[in-house]
Structure 1
Amino acid sequence: SKQEEMDLDDEDISIIEKNKVAGRVFISLTEDKLIASPYNLLGGPAGAIALLIKELNSELQASTSLQQPEKLENNLQTAEAIEKTHELPDNPISTSEESPANAHLSETEESLPNTHLPETASGLLRYYELWNCHYTKWPSLNEFSDYLRDVPKDRVHHSFKIEVEVLRKLFANEHPAQLRLIQLESQLKMRQSARIIKKATRNATKLLAKKTSVKKELEIVEDSTIIDGYRRINKHYDSFHEASTQLVKRRFLADNDHSDSNHEVDGSKRCRQQ
């Protein structure tokens, strides 16, 4: 069975279908034969996958010819009949128009089921090396998803986000792996949103702490100013109080001297009158 051959869990089997060429290539990422000859001599997983795609496409064409023998036989008979009715001269003149036989064969090729990777996949296979590295380390999609939640910041922001976008282009639109890639992309966006919220919260906390620190410094400065002013006022008050005391004493002494002189004058007048 599939599970015995590939050692995959139920979730992996539900996501990856073996009747899809792209799906089979995706499964092949975890197979041990990628590290065996001749795949290990092809420049890493990307080269091995390129060879697998070629082999699987050949298998697909062979299986299609077995599934539709009558249709292909009729097409061949039709092509032979067209060739007999349109025999070319000994020195044929080249024209830009395609012969009806070749046109019919091209239509037959186009009618094959489109289950292979898109044409742009050949230029993107090198990204499989990054993907295969992580997928080999975490063979279960659940484990890989858990890793993704704790993946480092720079990995989520740049490299892995690019990988997911490339893989979405690499697989055919109807391939079941597209659903998983959409889930991974959603996880990236959720994690990115959470990181943005954390960053904003952290900045707000720093700003609040800075405001609190500045407020304390201002309070200290204000307290120092008030205390210094109070001390200066006390000093001036002490000086004023001392000056006032001296003035009162001086006035008191002056009043005493004046009263004593008045008493002496009164006494002398009394003596004269007697």
Structure 2
Amino acid sequence: MTSLDPVLDKDGVQLTVEDAVATVTLTNPAKRNAQSPALWRALTEAGQSLPGSVRVVVLRGEGKSFSAGLDRQAFSPEGFDGEPSFPELARRDDTDLDAAIAAYQSAFTWWRRSDIVSVAAVQGHAIGAGFQLALACDLRVVASDVQFAMRETSLGLVPDLGGTHPLVGIVGYARALEICATGRFVQADEAERTGLANLVVPPGELDAAVRDLTGALLAAPRDATIETKALLLGASGRTYDEQRAAERAAQARRLRDLAGLGD
């Protein structure tokens, strides 16, 4: 069994690894796990620090809220210590501003790597950047008290941390537009009905439900899961015939591997 000592513990993010399961925990419940550029860098580092043995990554937040979104200090002229404020970012040229936002986005992109399955355990508020972080994961198990909301437009901004693509893919364009433009709360029943949540459980059962799902995900051979995930991730960008060809190629690799004829 791998040691449960933290592989990483900084800026409100902790990474622990136990055998094939890594757990990334947001560790600032006093601020409802509000997010900052430092936290985003720590999340990016967590993804880079995963051992090759990890198959499932669980994302969770300490306390009553998964993440209440962006720390509003980013909007103040002072910003965070050692970090550019949003007003300062706005004064940068197009290339530098684009690079800064791209660096922030990197905290949200690695969760769908083909070699892992990521599961967000979401309770309480998941607002703005918190909603987008939950959307970054492959699967979401949510507590019945969950409240998703995309509040960026009410602040004069847009969701820019990778959340728009999975949101449209899950709920469709019209509902995604309505959720983002109004900033309203999406409660657990709607989340389950629209596919935002794979499973809804009472708050006290969230950790157990995630453990059960993790066990089920680990039951299949790793390479079969990797190939299946890659097929599903690419399906929306392929025609029907292209998808069938991708299935044939993936199955050929699996058959040869099972027969001991792989590379």
> Above 0.5 in TM-score?
no
Task: Give the structure with higher Rg (CA).
Answer: 1
Structure (1/2) with the larger strand percentage: 2
Structure (1/2) with the larger helix percentage: 1
TM-score when normalising by structure 1: 0.20
Q: Larger relative contact order (C-alpha < 8 A, sep ≥ 6)?
A: 1
